[in-house]
Each structure stands twice: as structure tokens, then as C-alpha cells.
Chain A
Amino acid sequence: MYEKDGEKYFVVDGHVHFWDASPENWVKGQEKYAKGWIECFHAYQGLGPAETHWTIEKFQKYSEEDFVSDVFDAGYVDVGIFNPTYLKEWYTEGFNTTERNARLAEKHPDRLIVNGRWDPREGEAGLRRLEEDARRYNLKGVKLYTAEWRDGSRGWSLKDPEAAPFLEKCLELGIVNVHVHKGPTIWPLDKDAFDVRDVDYAATTYPELNFIVEHVGLPRIEDFCFMATQEPNVYAGLAVAIGGLMHARPRFFSKVMGELLFWVGEDKLLFGSDYAIWEPKWQVEGFVDWNYPDEEYSDYPAVTTASKKKMLGLNAARLYGIEVPRELRLPDEAGTPAARDDAQLVEGAA
């Protein structure tokens, strides 16, 4: 929980990681990619305030204590959502797997949500594994990484017929939140690798599922926004938009937020720090302090304390069914359970 100027914010960090990118975990022969990947992430950290930068050694592999301290103690995060990234082609034990995340989450069961993953290229075995993971980790969400390399294939699409049984399985298992990573990728080589049209297709076909496009489709926010306006079940994860722009390019950040608020709306934007790329502390503080810098931005929707409360936590809490303490809800939200309580009181008295 973060408190500023008498206002209390319930914080759900929709995008945290607990990775191991240390050289001991690099696949032999793939060192160039394993090293390049984590160095690329590390460069992104450089877009945050200087005092929050880590050495590459710490960045490659940080401890549980670092996580707890940075995310819960200093970072104001009430609940964190682990979104895994396997990348087993490059990292022997995987980069940031559900298993690894779950070992940490077991120690903080009320504070961490573990998301699973699937890959349509795994076929029947993948479906069975998704069932097992759903049972073991009580999955409410999955993170899909359509650009993940696998056996010479450099990626897949939500439109692939092979993906349909997995989306059906999500419905069946109550895995209602499908996070889709659209970000730096290699594949497909001859097309634009950030294409979000496959999310459009899946969101239309599966209206009962929520599709959360991570990184707001950056660097293709325009394609994402045009799609999101048409799909009521498409949400935007703000990870990287905040971490990558708010400090380094504040005027661009305001424009991006203005566009997202205009096209997508404050009810469908979800805070995410992308820890350990960036620590949540400065992002939460900066986001609560943020507003448009001047009248050049007057065309964009106003942003209020209530908007920020939604984006920082209440929207994600709704998608994941996270119980929000009453004093941290918005007044109209707080009204619903209170009314139910009142009804019970009346019934109890009757």
C-alpha cells in the first residue's frame, strides 16, 4: 500500500520476475543469445533513475531477499503477479519459470500470484502439463510469449489452429487472464514482429477470457490502441511504458499515457513494474505524482486520484479476484459490499 497526501493506493504489480540469467545457467553454444538478452534488459534498467541501477552481476541473478525488500518492503506492492518467461533455448533451467517463481510464492502465499504458460507447439503434452500446472499453482492467468524460440521455430501466433485447444483449456480450467507479450523479438523475420492482430482474433473468438497485452504493444501502441478500442476484453499492461519512459522521456510518457487513457481508458490499464528490470518504488511514487506537464496536453482525458487507484491496483484486483481492504477501495466500489453487509444485518435481525 502506498500513501500520499492522505490518499491510500492498493498496489498490484501486474508484472514481476524472479529470473536467473547467470552464466552458470547459459546453454552451451547459445551464450551469445543468453548474454545478449540479459544485457539488453540491463540497458533498459538504465532508463530509470541512476540511483536505482544495479551492476550486471546482481542483475543477472538477484536473491529472494532482494525481491522481498525491493517489491514488498520498499516498493509498496500489496500483491505481485509473476509472469514467467522460459527461454529454455538459451537458459538451461529457464530464464524465469513458473517453478522458480512458485518456490518464492509459496513463502508469500497472500502476496504473490503465479501465472503459468503454454506453447501450442507442445501439442497434447503441453495440454496435460497446463492441466497439472493449473492444479498445482491454482492458475488464474498465463503469460504467453509468442516469440519464444523452440527447436528451430522462432515463434507462433494466437491465430494458429494449434493455439485453439489451449485457449479452450484455459476456459475449462478457469484461467481467465491471458497475458500476451508483444515486445522485442526476432520472428517473423520478414514481417513486423510486434503485430498484435493475433490478439484481436483471439479476443473476439474468446470473449470470456481477458487478454492483457503487455507493454501496451510498445513500440506499436497505435496498432494496440486501435485494436483495444474494439475489444471489450483487451487490457493493457503498463510495464515498460512507465519504467522506460516516465523518468527518461517524461513528455513522451505523458503523451503515451494520454493516448492510452483516450483510446483504452483508465479501467483497462494495469500497473506493472517489470521488476527486476526496474524497482517498483520509484515507479509507484512517480506515477502517483504524475500529471500532464502543460496545456499542450489539454486534449487528453483528465487523470484523477481515482484513475491512478484503478491503474495501480484496483483494475488488476478485479481481474484476479484479489480482495481489496475496504478503506482502499473507491467509494462506489466500497458501496457494493457494504450494501450486502447491510442486507445481511437486516436479514439477521429479521
Chain B
Amino acid sequence: MTVRARVLDALGTVYDPELDEPITALEFVSSCDVSAEGDVEVRLRLPTSQCAPNFAFLMAADARDAVRRLPEVREVTVMLEDHCTDDEINAAVSRGQAFAQAFPGETEGELDALRRLFQRKALVARQSRCCEALLAAGATPEEVTARRVADLPDDDAGARRCLELRDQLGISREDDAAAFVLPDGAPIAAADLRHWLRIARLVRTSLESNGGMCRSLLRVRYDLPDTEEIAA
């Protein structure tokens, strides 16, 4: 595996916090160059110049962190392109600064609360896909909500993502913990499952249609080939 391939793998662990999809799958990585000496330059692009600076900052900073964790790389530069606040974001990210330092006087705090809000939404959406698949395969609500973490399929990317999100949210992922939980970690009760799914489906529709619109806008902006609708 080349260094560049490992860098791209690392970038594949960076998620758009709002859409809960890797920035590589979203085609937000416009270029990735590795010099013979191991210096890395990653360029990021977004669907519009007006995309929210907070999410843009998180993706750029996360990308830099993810690549810097690789032992074989030397200097890492992440450049956000064609964005209305690219100068501010690039300056702060290149120095490893926090969000508030990118926009002095314009923000009251950091982005942890925002990130957690979207991690909770993502967990709801991801779990609902797993639950619906189980129900479609004939499981009863009682059987679905009785599932433990150990019962989640290892080969399912959605289930794996649920566990990552639980880690990030501080929700236990011990083998005997409930597989499907509310954002505070409490198990979903069998009697509540249908109602919970109704709400979860709306959250998922929002995330997915937002992702669909972002993909369409990116395609228009950079003249990319059309992509299939996913998950709809």
C-alpha cells in the first residue's frame, strides 16, 4: 500500500458531521498529493461557497488530524478551496488552532456541542436502518429491541458506524449492552419501537435528502458525472 493510499484511507475516516458520510465518499477531497519526502497536501472542496463555516472547519481540521496520525508522513497541509471563509479556515487549521481562533470575536464557543448534536442524529438514522432491516426480515419489535451489541452483524458498515458513534457519544458498546438505544444510552423499549422508527425515518430522510442535494450541487459546481441516488 502506498503512502498516498494510506492517506486516502485516513481521509475515509473523516466524516461530514452534518451528513454522516465520509468526505471521500462525498468527493469532497479534490486532490491528495504526497511528495517523495512524505509531505502531504490535501485539497478539500464543498458543494457551495456558502456551506456552513462551522462544518467546513470541522472537516478540514479532522482531515489534518487524521493524516497527521500516520507515522510515515511529514508536513501535512489541508487546504479548503473555493469557500467564502477559506482564508480564515485555512490559516487556523494550518496552525492547529481552534475554531474560535479562526473567527475571533464571532463565536462564543467551540463546536463540540454542534458535533454531538449531529452525532445523535446520525446514530438515530443509522440504528433505524438496522431495525427496519430486522423487521423486514420478520423479527418482532420485542426481538429487535432485545438485540445486544454482540448481535450486530460484523460485516455491516451501518452497524459498525453505530458503534463508532456510540464511542463518540460516550454510550457503552459492551457486548451485552442493548443494540438499539436512545441518544442518552437508554435502550429503546419494544412498545416504543414503531413510534421511534416513525421519528427516526424523518431524521434519516432529512440527512439523506440533504446529502442528495449536496451531491447534486457538487456535481453542478465541479461538472462531475452524475451519481446514483443512495439509500432512498
Specify whether A and B are partners.
yes
Query: Number of residues in A with C-beta < 8 Å to the partner?
Result: 40
With A46-B220, A189-B103, A252-B229 known as contacts, the answer to whether A219 contacts B49 (CB < 8 A) is no
Give, as a whole number of angstroms, the nearest-CB distance from B9 to chain A. 29
Is B192 close to A, CB under 8 A?
no
**Secondary structure type dominating chain A contacts:** helix
With A33-B84, A221-B202, A221-B206 known as contacts, the answer to whether A186 contacts B53 (CB < 8 A) is yes
**Secondary structure type dominating chain B contacts:** helix
Is there an interface contact between A256 and B205, defined as CB atoms closer than 8 Å?
yes
Closest A residue by C-beta to B18:
A219
Contact-residue bracket for chain B: 35 or more
With A44-B217, A244-B213 known as contacts, the answer to whether A184 contacts B205 (CB < 8 A) is no
Is there an interface contact between B202 and A225, defined as CB atoms closer than 8 Å?
yes
Task: Give the residues in chain A near B146, CB-CB below 8 Å.
Answer: none
Is A169 close to B, CB under 8 A?
no
Closest B residue by C-beta to A44:
B217
Q: Mark B207-218, 1 if CB is under 8 A from A, else 0.
A: 011101100110
Is B174 close to A, CB under 8 A?
no
CA distance A236 to B35 in the complex (A): 52
CA distance A36 to B221 in the complex (A): 12
Is A263 close to B, CB under 8 A?
yes
Is B107 close to A, CB under 8 A?
yes
Give, as a whole number of angstroms, the nearest-CB distance from A240 to chain B. 9
Is A128 close to B, CB under 8 A?
no
Is there an interface contact between B50 and A255, defined as CB atoms closer than 8 Å?
no
CA distance A193 to B206 in the complex (A): 16
25 A–B contacts, CB within 8 A, in A order: A36-B50, A36-B84, A39-B49, A47-B213, A47-B216, A47-B217, A186-B52, A189-B54, A189-B107, A190-B107, A190-B109, A190-B111, A191-B54, A219-B18, A220-B206, A225-B202, A244-B213, A244-B216, A245-B209, A248-B212, A248-B213, A249-B229, A252-B212, A255-B209, A258-B205
Q: Residues of A with Cβ closer than 8 Å to B?
A: 32-33, 36-37, 39-40, 43-44, 46-47, 154, 184-186, 188-193, 218-222, 225-226, 244-245, 248-253, 255-256, 258-259, 263
**Beyond the given A186-B84, A186-B85, A188-B107, could you list 20 further A-B residue pairs with CB under 8 A, ordered by the A residue number?**
A36-B84, A40-B50, A43-B48, A43-B217, A43-B220, A44-B217, A46-B220, A47-B213, A184-B48, A185-B52, A186-B53, A189-B54, A189-B99, A190-B113, A219-B209, A219-B213, A244-B216, A250-B229, A256-B205, A258-B205
Top 9 nearest A-B pairs (CB, nearest first) are: A46-B220, A219-B210, A251-B232, A252-B209, A249-B212, A36-B49, A190-B107, A189-B107, A248-B216
